Structure 1
């Protein structure tokens, strides 16, 4: 279905002289609009995000906001025809990538680790649906509305990545490859996929032999697209209490928390916004997620870092192939990451 900005504003109750100040993201299903109105918060502007009715993001934002985590304050959620509008505080556009300071990035790592700690599925009070935080429209709890990325899910993602990348190489979507290079890359992808699936199987067996309390791959609520553009920095004085607001939760799922860690690292590295040290990130994350002790060992956490970085590269390849765009240069980068991380495993 097609939804216009006017329909989004009407669903939010914005009429008359109140008009959009700025369209931050144009094109349903993900309009993001800054609107001039004091109706909801007394502030001069608010942010409105339109989500398809099937989207889990409004419920995740409501849950995290009520629990006091690092997301924008949710002022209301309004129902439209086939979509919902999340009305939230306007934090501005000061994103983490503008700061280029490793200390700020480590503070973001600490904040996302707190969310991972709260929603760790190895904790008994999170597993039981009736004891999950109440979410409007989802009485079974947060875990019931999130996709769970397990061995079968990732096996399928790797195979889709191989098939899709091979197709795009052969149909010429990814330009800049000679026929010989295409043949070589197709062969490499097949070998890497075999090695990846073997490594995943071995990791699964290792997980079964360990206590879930010390297993770094224990599933939790994962942002899914955690990078320095989706980490907004609050202005003073709010910064002292809660320095960040994490936005764009539409890719959230249940998975290893290390995926958010490697996502933050990979995007900063690729965009050259900040030079980050993986060991410092891992140590900071372990301290924040397991502050009472009983944490995974650093070597086990480092292995999980490499596993998640490898799988994230496969998922990037899978996504590239669905767009129909020329991601030839990025394909080379992600294949190199898969090769390096497999060697580390």
Structure 2
């Protein structure tokens, strides 16, 4: 039984921890606030982090700093985890995203350059390059999983298929979303992310590069609403569009909304992830979309009925 450390108790961290536990591993979840089965620890406290990660075979970085604090919060977290993994001799697997690529006009593959120029893109690019430099120097073994918008049980705040949509949809009301509701968009199912993270941590073929998590073929948000309504046994919901200008205006005083300007292209243009390299290497595919969306509907119904 190997020892695995999961950093972060959000949907990805919690789902990854459950999967590892089901596989019979010793699992420790560390989070800043503790609770929900996690141990409280400030991961930037290097001495405490090294003590907590001793003997770990794999460390999974599923931390999630506040969106508008990435430039200040991510670098010390990422550096502390690199140091801890190097000290413990652990594999470090980081949960990443697609920001580093910036706007592209075709499906996003891992061999595209990290050409993003926004603040958050530069943060993620720097994190990966620092990790890869240590790997190439033989000091550590690393891998990064990259996914599109999360959805599934436990996901409340991230992406389209969560708080922005589900309560209204299940109440039979119109759904109002930001961005182009007809642009193809990739959505990545959280259990598929957890499975990929565990694979990347325990299969040496994965180390030294980034991988795109198996993700179903893209849907527009309008198509996603139609599928969700069908699976929920509801008539199709009307889909409306929230214009950008009031969001940008509120963003002047709300830092979280203000950060959306950098990634507006992800909502307005086709945003499609290609995960064929992962599937070809490891033989794993995404969960069938109806199965994933049905589980999402069931989880939200249970949550909203409490």
What TM-score does the superposition give when structure 1 sets the normalisation length? 0.29
Kindly indicate which of the two structures has a greater share of residues assigned to helix.
1
Which of the two has higher C-alpha Rg? 1
